[in-house]
């Protein structure tokens, strides 16, 4: 065995240790609350069972007061889960999340400039991050949605059909990735947007055919009623509206303030799209722009749980391990709050200390969004300089 081979194998040790820790979390319940294991997966299963029984998908209420809040197409995808025992389903689902993160997330990180030798370390950090840990415990679909969206944008500049298939799937399962349509302002992304809308539209029609009443109810009522999810002031809300609510703004005013604050976020996203679509940009900035779209969708949504913001630890790793200088350092600092249970600490602390802790996540997401947009712009500028110099 050569030294190079040994080094390559040792590079995967951090990821192995992270996966072992995940198994410990899932099997012992450490760092989790008693109601959490498989909770969201059980909601998906109930939604699929209601679909099979011909019942309205949005009437059922869980013991904790939650509802199925996804489009009917998502319930179609969850039907296989309804046929399995919950524990078996959770085991298989979590295995799927890990495999997709390692395979797709690893390629995205490499494409974002993370050195090959550091990709396993980056993946290990994402695995132990709060968003992915929470997704594993709950049996959440969010990691698949985030990775599909980011991969879709990353592919979209060069292979719009493949990118649209991935991003369209994400938008059909959860509405928030549909924020990608704002990229239509730049010519380079229009084919991606077109294919995304087509794929999401076909998937929505499937849901309409199998559950017409629930489809109408979702798009006319449920999709616009954030109160069915939670009040904006819920401690674990990471959105802009949540940030205002954490700071003491009343719930109704916090929602309005969140919408107003969303405008500069969208402007920054559009600027990044224009930079990534500049003549001579080629395939530059796709991963970063995809991460920016995912972060922006979490920020502008009325309620964004921790597992919705998997793009944050991914972005922090891409920027910190794939960059250099003060920007890499800033990304690393911003990423720390996604590795720590700061929202649990906020709930325990209360008062001003709790408010400050709860605000760290939205602030971190904003910092990472700015860094991502700046990186896209610098990559394009550097590419143009090289082209002109040649």
The mean of the pLDDT values for the chain is 90
Angle ∠(230,234,236) on CA atoms, nearest 5 = 105
Cα distances from 163 to residues 205, 240, 334, in angstroms, run: 20, 28, 29
pLDDT at 390: 44
Q: What is the largest CA-CA distance in the chain?
A: 65
- The vertex-74 CA angle with 72 and 76, nearest 5°, equals 80
Average pLDDT over residues 261-274: 91
CA distance to 134, 174, 246, 346, per residue, from 357 (Å): 18, 28, 10, 5
Query: What pLDDT does 21 receive?
Result: 94
The confidence score (pLDDT) of residue 284 equals 55
Q: What percent of the chain is modeled with pLDDT above 70?
A: 93
Separation between Cα atoms, residue 128 and residue 131, nearest integer Å: 8
Over residues 300-314, the pLDDT tens digits come to 999 999 999 999 999
- The CA distance from 63 to 385, in Å, is 59
pLDDT in tens, 170-220: 999 998 888 999 998 888 899 999 999 999 999 999 999 999 999 999 999
pLDDT at 277: 57
Confidence of residue 7 (pLDDT cuts 50, 70, 90): low
List pLDDT tens digits, range 109-154.
999 999 999 999 999 999 999 999 999 999 999 999 999 999 999 9
Q: Which residue has the tokens 């391990």?
A: 321
Residue 227, pLDDT above cutoff 90: no
Bigger pLDDT: 371 vs 63: 371
Residue 222 and residue 69 in contact, taking contact as beta carbons nearer than 8 Å:
yes
d(CA 362, CA 241): 10
Q: What is the pLDDT of residues 30-57, one digit of tens each?
A: 888 888 999 999 999 999 999 999 999 9
Q: Is the pLDDT of residue 338 over 70?
A: yes
Task: Tell me the Cα Rg of the chain.
Answer: 20
Instruction: Name the H helices within the chain.
Output: 3-10, 13-28, 39-53, 72-77, 79-82, 86-100, 106-111, 119-128, 130-138, 142-156, 160-173, 190-210, 212-220, 240-246, 251-276, 286-300, 311-321, 325-336, 342-349, 351-389
């Amino acid at each position: 065995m050569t030294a190079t081979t040994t080094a390559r194998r040792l590079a995967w040790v951090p990821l192995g240790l992270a996966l072992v820790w995940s198994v410990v979390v899932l099997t012992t319940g450490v760092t989790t609350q008693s109601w959490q294991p498989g909770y969201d997966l059980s909601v998906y299963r109930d939604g699929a069972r209601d679909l099979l029984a011909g019942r309205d998908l949005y009437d059922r209420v869980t013991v904790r007061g939650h509802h199925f809040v996804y489009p009917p197409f998502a319930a179609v995808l969850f039907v296989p889960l309804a046929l399995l025992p919950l524990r078996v389903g959770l085991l298989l689902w979590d295995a799927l999340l890990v495999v997709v993160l390692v395979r797709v997330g690893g390629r995205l990180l490499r494409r974002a400039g993370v050195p090959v030798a550091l990709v396993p370390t980056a993946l290990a950090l994402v695995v132990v991050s709060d968003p992915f840990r929470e997704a594993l415990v709950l049996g959440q679909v969010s990691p698949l949605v985030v990775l599909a969206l980011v991969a879709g944008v990353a592919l979209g500049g060069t292979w719009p059909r493949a990118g649209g298939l991935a991003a369209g799937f994400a938008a059909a399962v959860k509405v928030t990735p549909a924020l990608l349509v704002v990229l239509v302002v730049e010519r380079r992304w229009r084919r991606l947007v077109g294919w995304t809308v087509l794929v999401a539209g076909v998937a929505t029609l499937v849901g309409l055919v199998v559950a017409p009443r629930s489809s109408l109810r979702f798009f006319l009522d449920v999709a616009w009623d954030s109160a069915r999810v939670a009040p904006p002031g819920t401690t674990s809300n990471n959105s802009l509206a949540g940030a205002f609510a954490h700071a003491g703004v009343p719930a109704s005013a916090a929602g309005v303030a969140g919408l107003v604050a969303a405008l500069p976020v969208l402007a920054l996203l559009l600027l990044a799209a224009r930079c990534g679509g500049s003549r001579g940009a080629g395939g530059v900035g796709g991963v970063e722009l995809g991460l920016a779209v995912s972060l922006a969708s979490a920020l502008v949504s009325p309620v964004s749980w921790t597992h919705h913001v998997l793009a944050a630890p991914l972005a922090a790793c891409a920027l910190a391990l794939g960059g250099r200088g003060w920007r890499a350092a800033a990304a690393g600092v911003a990423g720390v709050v996604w590795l720590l249970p700061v929202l649990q600490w906020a709930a325990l602390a209360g008062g001003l200390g709790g408010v400050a802790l709860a605000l760290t996540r939205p602030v971190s997401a904003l910092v990472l969004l700015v860094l991502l947009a700046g990186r896209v712009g610098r990559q394009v500028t550097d590419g143009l300089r090289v082209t002109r110099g040649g």
